[in-house]
Chains A and B, each alone.
Chain A
Amino acid sequence: MGSLDSYLPIFILFVLALAFAGLSIVASKLLAPQRPTSAKEAPYECGIVPAEAPPQRFPVRFYLVAMIFVIFDIEIIFLFPWAVVYNQLGRFGLVEIIVFAASVFFSFLYLVANGALDWGPVKRVRPVASEQSRTTTSTVRRVGHGTGEAA
C-alpha cells in the first residue's frame, strides 16, 4: 500500500472538511427559524412572479463547447506523461508531439473557420431604409405616409 500512503492526509482533510460543512448545516438547522411561506419558496425573479418554467433547451453552442473541450482535455491528458519523461525522449519526443499538436491544431482551425466557436449576435445586415423624409435642412421624421419604413 506504499503509494497510497501519501493520500492519507488528504483523506483526513476530506473527513474534516465534510464534518465542518455537515456540522455547520446541522447548526444552522437548529439555530435558524423555519417559517417557509409560498412567497419565500417561489423562484426568485426580483419580485416578478415567474410565468413560465425555466428553459429546458439551450443554444447548441454550449454543447459544442463541451465536445470541443473534450478534444483539448484529452490532448492535455496525453501531454502530462509526455512532459514528465520529455528529457529522456529528446528529439523523438519533440517531433512526435509536433505531429500530435499539429493535427489537433488543424482540426481546431477547421472548427474556427466554420464558426463553431463564435458567440453572440452577428453584425446586423439590414436593408437600409430610404430616408427620403430626412434632408439636410430638416431631420424631422414623418410617420404614417410615404415610404412605409421597414421596421
Chain B
Amino acid sequence: MSDPLFAHGVGLAVILIVLVKVVVAFAALLVCTMLMVWFERKVISDMQNRIGPNRAGPYGLLQSLADGTKLFFKEDLLPEKADRFVFRLAPLLAVIPAFLIFAVVPVGGVVTIAHHVVELQVADPPMGILYLLALSSVAVYGVMLAGWSSGSKYPLLGSVRASAQMISYEAALGLTVVTVVLESHSLSTRAIIQSQSHHFWQWNVLRLGIVPFAIFMIASTAEMNRPPFDLAEGESELGGGFNTEYSSLRFALFYLAEFMNTITMSAVAVTLFFGGPDGPGFHVVRWLWPILWFLGKTVAFCYVQVWIRASLPRMRYDQLMDLGWKRLIPLSLGWLLVVAGFIVSVAWGAALFGAGVLAAVLLYQSIRVGRRRRESLAAAMAAAAVPRPRPGGNRQGPVDLRPLAGTGKVGT
C-alpha cells in the first residue's frame, strides 16, 4: 500500500536514495520550468506569426535564465501601505506548494537499487491525492495574501476574484478526482497508475467516459489562473492583478510558481487519466521507457495548455462563475453517481443516467426561476426610483447650472 522503500525501516541507504530522488526532482523541476517558459513563449509566438525569443542561447533557449538573472539585480520595492510580513510571506506560500505538489506524481516505473525497491516518484504517501488537493488549496493563500497585503486597490480586487474562482473550481476538480478514486480504490498515486496499466483502454480517460477528464482540464486551467480564466490578472481592468505591487525576485517567484503549476497540473492529468508512465516498452533499457512515455504525455499536455491560451479569449467574471457552479459542479457530481451506478450494475447506471437528465432539467428550471426573480426585483427597484427628468435634459449636453445659482456652490 505505502511506499515499499520504507518497508524495512529507514537505514543509511534509504536516506541516500531519498536524498538523490529529492535533489534530482528539484533540479529537474527547476530546469523544466525554465524550459516551459521558453516553450510557451515560442509556441505562442509561432501561433501569432512572430519569432519570439531568439537572442539568448540557441533558439532563445536561455531566455528564461537571462530573465531570471536580470530579476536578481532589480530593486525590490516594498509598498508603503503594505503589510510588511504578509507581503514577504506570500511569494513563499505560492512557490513552496508548487514544488511540493510534484512530489506525489509518479514519473516512472519501479526499479531495484541495492536490494531496495524504489518507485520513481519523490514520495508515495498512502493518501497522495488528498495531499495534492490540500497543497493546491494552500496555493490559494499565496494569491489571496499577496493581493491583500499589497495595500493597493487593483491587487486586492484581483486576489478576491482569484480566490473566489479558485475555490469554486476546486469543488469540480475534487469531484472528478473522486471519480478516479472510484476506479482505483486507493488514494495513492502509484495505485492509481497501476489500476490503469497495460492497456490504453483501461486509462481513466476512456474507462470513466470523457466527461471527468474534460471537467478536470477546464477546472485545473481555472485553478491555475491560466487563460481563458486569468481574470485575476486582467490587465485591461486591474493593472496587473494580484502581483501588481511585486517586483524583482518576489515577482520572479510568483512567475516560477505559475509555470511550475502548469507543468505539475499537466503531469497530474497524465497520472489521473492517461495512465501516467504507462505505455509499450522494449527490452533494451527497461526503466527508461516509462519515463519517456511520461515525459511525452506531459509535454503534450503542456502544449495543449499553451494552445488553449493562444486560442481562447478571456471570459467575463459572471460567465466564469456560472460555468463553474451551474454547469461543471452539477455535471461532475452527476457523472460520479453514474459511474458508481455502472460499477454496481448496468441497470443502476442507466437509471442514474436518466435521473441525471431529470436533474439537469430541474437545474435549468431553477436557473430560470432565479434569473426571473432577479429581473423582477431589479424592475421593482427601477420602478421605485422613478427616473427624474434632469434639469437641462440631455446628459451629453452642457450642464445647466441655473438651479444651483443662488446656493453658493457655483459662481455666477
A21 and B95 contact, CB distance less than 8 A: yes
Given A94-B340, A114-B373, CB of A76 within 8 Å of CB of B126? no
Question: Is A135 positioned at the interface, with any CB of B under 8 Å from its CB?
Answer: no
Report B-chain residues with C-beta under 8 Å of the C-beta of A83.
Answer: 178-179, 181-182
B79 and A123 contact, CB distance less than 8 A: no
Report B-chain residues with C-beta under 8 Å of the C-beta of A114.
Answer: 370, 373
A28 and B96 contact, CB distance less than 8 A: no
Report B-chain residues with C-beta under 8 Å of the C-beta of A151.
Answer: 387, 389-390, 394-395
A16 and B26 contact, CB distance less than 8 A: yes
Interface-side segment among B147-155, B200-208, B302-310 = B147-155
A76 and B178 contact, CB distance less than 8 A: yes
A79 and B374 contact, CB distance less than 8 A: no
**Secondary structure class of chain A's binding surface, majority of residues:** helix
B175 and A79 contact, CB distance less than 8 A: yes
- Per the CB 8 Å criterion, the residue count for chain B at the interface is 109
B187 and A66 contact, CB distance less than 8 A: no
Interface-side segment among B42-50, B68-76, B272-280, B290-298 = B68-76
Among A24, A45, A58, A98, max chain B CB count under 10 A is at A24
Q: How far is the CA of A112 from the CA of B330 in the complex (A)?
A: 12
Query: Which of B156, B340, B366 is the one whose CB lies under 8 Å from A97?
Result: B340
Report A-chain residues with C-beta under 8 Å of the C-beta of B55.
Answer: none
Among B77, B336, B363, max chain A CB count under 10 A is at B77
Report A-chain residues with C-beta under 8 Å of the C-beta of B3.
Answer: 5-6
Query: Which of A35, A116, A123 is the one whose CB lies under 8 Å from B75?
Result: A35
Given A21-B91, A44-B239, CB of A84 within 8 Å of CB of B18? no
B326 and A119 contact, CB distance less than 8 A: no
Given A6-B2, A25-B249, A32-B248, CB of A12 within 8 Å of CB of B167? no
B79 and A43 contact, CB distance less than 8 A: yes
List B330-354 residues whose CB lies under 8 Å from chain A: 330, 333, 336-337, 340-341, 343-344, 348, 352
List A9-56 residues whose CB lies under 8 Å from chain B: 9-10, 12-14, 16-18, 20-22, 24-25, 27-29, 31-36, 38, 40-46, 50, 54-55
Report B-chain residues with C-beta under 8 Å of the C-beta of A65.
Answer: 164, 167-168, 321, 325
Scan B224-257; emit 1 where CB is below 8 A from any A CB, else 0: 0000000000000001100011001110110000
Given A6-B126, A7-B123, A83-B181, CB of A32 within 8 Å of CB of B348? no
Given A24-B72, A109-B363, CB of A119 within 8 Å of CB of B79? no
B160 and A122 contact, CB distance less than 8 A: no
CB proximity of B215 to chain A, nearest CB, Å: 13
Report B-chain residues with C-beta under 8 Å of the C-beta of A91.
Answer: 344, 348
Question: Is B41 positioned at the interface, with any CB of A under 8 Å from its CB?
Answer: no
A148 and B26 contact, CB distance less than 8 A: no
Report B-chain residues with C-beta under 8 Å of the C-beta of A34.
Answer: 75-76
Scan A70-106; emit 1 where CB is below 8 A from any B CB, else 0: 0011001001100111110011011001100100110
Query: Which of A2, A14, A21, A113 is the one whose CB lies under 8 Å from B370?
Result: A113
List B348-397 residues whose CB lies under 8 Å from chain A: 348, 352, 359, 362-363, 366-367, 369-371, 373-375, 377-379, 382, 387, 389-390, 392-395, 397
Among A68, A83, A114, max chain B CB count under 10 A is at A83
Chosen A-B contacts, 6 in total, with CB atoms closer than 8 Å, are A6-B124, A16-B99, A24-B249, A41-B80, A72-B171, A151-B387
